[in-house]
């Protein structure tokens, strides 16, 4: 597995090697030893799946507050997404900045998002299946979110608010500037 740092400290792209043959291919999608060798401690404690039936389904931007911030590895099993990691760590030099990475089933590219980041994605194909491997359990009392199309974030989503398929909950999240974050 190749592990590359993105422009935001701690957000990593994981590239798994595929082994094709006449049957198809084989790919290791998680390797604790490979991550440990790169200095990453990522114990999987929860595994989630989401299916988005329609292209331009947009989910996020979601996060969990400390002490149960939820690091995750995002992996697309079918279809493709534009995946977003937004730094919301109080005091971080990159607070409010994001990275956008295309993840798709064909390449198997994954994104490791540490705690202290909001996460969201927009599907680029119908019937997109996304897996989230989490290093902390879901804790609803600590969850929060940021309006996905907050203009202050400068995210170049592939769809505008009028054409996106978005939950009512995500449409009503606050903008980053209105979020109550400690030590900001």
Q: Compute how many other C-beta atoms are within 10 angstroms of the C-beta atom of residue 9.
A: 14
Residue 129 neighbours by CB distance under 10 Å: 15
Q: Is 132 a catalytic residue?
A: yes
Q: Which of 62, 119, 138, 142 is catalytic?
A: 62
Contact 82, 157 (CB under 8 A): yes
Specify whether the CB–CB gap between 90 and 184 falls below 8 A: yes
One DSSP character per residue, 106-166 reads TT--EEEE-TTEEEEEEESSSSEEEEEEESS---GGGEEE--TT-GGG----SS-TTT-B-
Contact yes or no for 158/123 (Cβ under 8 A) = no
**CA separation for the pair 163, 101 (Å, rounded):** 21
Distances 153 to 28, 77, 95, 97 between C-alpha atoms, Å: 34, 28, 10, 7
Q: Active-site residues: which are they?
A: 62, 132
């Amino acid at each position: 597995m190749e592990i590359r740092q993105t422009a935001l400290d701690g957000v990593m792209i994981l590239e798994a090697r595929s082994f094709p043959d006449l049957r198809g291919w084989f790919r290791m999608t998680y390797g604790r030893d490979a991550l440990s060798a790169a200095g990453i401690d990522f114990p999987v404690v929860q595994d989630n799946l989401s299916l988005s039936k329609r292209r331009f389904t947009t989910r996020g931007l979601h996060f969990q507050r400390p002490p149960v911030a939820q690091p995750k590895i995002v992996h697309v099993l079918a279809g493709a997404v534009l995946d977003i990691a937004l730094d919301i760590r109080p005091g971080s030099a990159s607070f409010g900045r994001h990275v956008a990475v295309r993840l798709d089933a064909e390449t198997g590219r994954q994104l490791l998002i540490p705690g202290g980041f909001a996460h969201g994605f927009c599907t680029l194909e119908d019937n997109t299946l996304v897996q989230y491997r989490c290093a902390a359990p879901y804790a609803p009392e600590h969850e929060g979110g940021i309006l996905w199309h907050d203009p202050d974030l400068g995210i170049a989503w592939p769809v505008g608010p009028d054409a996106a398929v978005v939950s009512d909950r995500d449409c009503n999240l606050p903008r980053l500037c209105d979020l109550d974050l400690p030590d900001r």
